Amino acid sequence: MIQNEMSRRRLLGLGVGLGAAASLTLAGCGGGSATKSGGTASGNGGKDYTGPKVSLNLWNGFTGGDGDIFKKLVEQFNSEHQNIAVAVNTYRWEDYYSKLPGAVSSGSGPDIAVMHMDQLATFAARGVITELDDVAKALELSEGDFAPTVWKGGIYNNKRYGIPLDMHPLGFYYNKAVMQKAGLDPNKPPTDKDEFTAALTELKKSGVQGFWISPFQFTGGMTFYSLLHQWGGTLFDADVAKATFNSDPAVEACTWLVDLIKQGHSPANVGQDADYLALKSGKNAFNFNGIWQINDIAKDPNAQIGVAEVPQIGSQKAVWANSHNFTIVKQRSADNNKVSGAKVFINWLSEHSLDWAKGGQVPARKQVRESAEFKGIKDVSTLAPELEYAAFPPAAPGLGEVLTTFYTSFNEAALGKKSPKQALDDGVAKANKQLEDNRKKYGS
């Protein structure tokens, strides 16, 4: 499944049209001759724009509360720039990613597109988006302005394709009322393995299964992704040529999670979102979930949910994360004015990412992250330090299906269909075939 971040939004948006299948054949009619090099090095890379008035189309997938904040920011930009008019179209991420290639090849695509970091390589390899090295250069943006992992994530084949806007890691949510009932200090959530397991034991004594392991990508799969890195493992080797998620550390991390089910700290067969709903209703105490849930818990202060960094269970700190990036979409006939306008917009919004943080995302820009205003946005700023050790998905084209294989392996292990070792071995065997197919296809 294509990465998408909001499980809450997924609930609203899961009605994937059955007609999508029908568009399979029709989508092919577009011809698809996107220009090979769409207007690079035009303008001054986004400092300002003085040409004739341009109108730009921007596509994104911000369907939740962040969508309103994004639209307000765009309105502000439009009022400050008389010669640039940005129009926003919002789709659900799943629809968005399948719609974009067809729209681009038929000449009706957007000018600017917001994209998850792990999609950049795929869309770059497929010639949908254009290089942005000159924007970074002209804006004097460098690795130092961002967290290194976020900054490097926008690079594919030594060229930059995305300007990072934010990052969204997994966070640690804990139910204070439940902790208190079990005799735990609700203001001291566990931070390492010993504290974590000790807390689970206390909770069990008071009759609470403290940490529900969801077998699905949201959020058990992402929890396993984090722990695998905490144990020192990786999903793939450095060149993303071979899958490595059946290494000893990976098997250990997976076994640790599955054992929590066996030991009764989690029920078996946890359904999608059941782990999070149980947290909010006081049926469990701990949940690793996306930063996007901060807005959701804020709606219900009575639930008494706290937010902290994900505890260090393994030998090092690590946490799953992804990032929204701005990209400029290739056009059939490049219009340099539009490209310049788009760069101005990207620069402007990147500088205004403090406002964006209010939507529940950690800004990618260091200077914004370190500002006093950002630190005032409680909970969101609590998770900002995770940026330093966040494990972002690697930049390789066609990775979506391989990640699905990874999450499916975990699903089989968590549901007790296979042993952790067996499930991960099987997954790696399949993932390696998929990676080989991708190499043939994208020639990387």
Is 1 a residue that touches another protein (CB under 8 A)?
Answer: yes
Relative to beta strand 305-308, strand 54-60 is unpaired
- Residue placing its CB nearer to another protein in the complex, 24 or 372: 24
Binding mask 351-390 for another protein (x = CB under 8 A): ----------------------------------------
DSSP-derived 3-state class of residue 192: strand
Is 265 a residue that touches another protein (CB under 8 A)?
Answer: no
Q: List all residues 6 or more positions away from 343 whose beta carbon is below 8 Å from its beta carbon.
A: 43, 45, 46, 49, 132, 135, 138, 328
Question: What minimum distance in Å lies between the beta carbon of 210 and another protein?
Answer: 14
Is 198 a residue that touches another protein (CB under 8 A)?
Answer: no
Specify the stretch interacting with another protein by CB under 8 A; choose among 195-203, 268-276, 350-358, 379-387: 268-276
Is 417 a residue that touches another protein (CB under 8 A)?
Answer: yes
Neighbours of 319 (CB within 10 A): 27
- Residue placing its CB nearer to another protein in the complex, 381 or 404: 404
- Residue placing its CB nearer to another protein in the complex, 72 or 417: 417
- Pick the binder of another protein from 57, 105, 323, 353 (CB under 8 A): 105
CB burial readout 322-338, b (16+ within 10 A) else e: bbbbbbbbbbbebbebb
Is 171 a residue that touches another protein (CB under 8 A)?
Answer: no
Is 32 a residue that touches another protein (CB under 8 A)?
Answer: yes
- Residue placing its CB nearer to another protein in the complex, 107 or 148: 107
- Residue placing its CB nearer to another protein in the complex, 220 or 341: 220
- Pick the binder of another protein from 97, 224, 256, 345 (CB under 8 A): 97
- Residue placing its CB nearer to another protein in the complex, 100 or 387: 100
Amino acid at 22: A
Amino acid at 223: T
Specify the stretch interacting with another protein by CB under 8 A; choose among 145-153, 164-172, 272-280, 364-372: 272-280
- Residue placing its CB nearer to another protein in the complex, 100 or 199: 100
Binding mask 202-241 for another protein (x = CB under 8 A): ----------x--xx-------------------------
- Residue placing its CB nearer to another protein in the complex, 181 or 439: 439
Answer whether 334's CB lies under 8 Å from 163's CB: no
Count residues near another protein (CB under 8 A): 60
Measured over all CA atoms, what is the biggest interatomic distance in the chain, rounded to whole angstroms? 70
Answer whether 97's CB lies under 8 Å from 67's CB: no
Question: What minimum distance in Å lies between the beta carbon of 323 and another protein?
Answer: 20
Answer whether 322's CB lies under 8 Å from 167's CB: yes
Neighbours of 386 (CB within 10 A): 25
Answer whether 31's CB lies under 8 Å from 105's CB: yes
Neighbours of 36 (CB within 10 A): 7
- Region 297-356 residues binding another protein, contact defined as CB under 8 A: none
Is 272 a residue that touches another protein (CB under 8 A)?
Answer: yes
Could you tell me which of 221, 240, 146, 281 has the C-alpha nearest to residue 424? 221
Per DSSP, helices labelled H in 246-381 are 248-262, 274-280, 294-298, 336-351, 353-357, 366-369, 372-375
Question: What minimum distance in Å lies between the beta carbon of 376 and another protein?
Answer: 36
Torsion (CA) 433, 435, 441, 443 in degrees, nearest 10: -130
- Region 140-159 residues binding another protein, contact defined as CB under 8 A: none
Distances (CA, A) of 200 to 6, 21, 124, 182, 238: 27, 46, 45, 10, 36
- Region 393-412 residues binding another protein, contact defined as CB under 8 A: 398, 400-401, 404, 408, 411-412
Beta bridge partners of 326: 114, 163
Answer whether 386's CB lies under 8 Å from 319's CB: yes
- Pick the binder of another protein from 136, 254, 261, 270 (CB under 8 A): 270
Question: What minimum distance in Å lies between the beta carbon of 328 and another protein?
Answer: 16
Question: What minimum distance in Å lies between the beta carbon of 102 and another protein?
Answer: 6
6, HSE (Cβ side, Cα atoms, 13 Å): 25
- Pick the binder of another protein from 381, 430, 439, 444 (CB under 8 A): 430
Contacts with another protein, residue ranges (CB under 8 A): 1-2, 11, 14-16, 18, 20-21, 23-30, 32, 34, 36, 97-98, 101-102, 104-105, 122, 125-128, 212, 215-216, 267-272, 274, 277-278, 283, 398, 400-401, 404, 408, 411-412, 415, 417, 430, 433-434, 436-437, 441-442
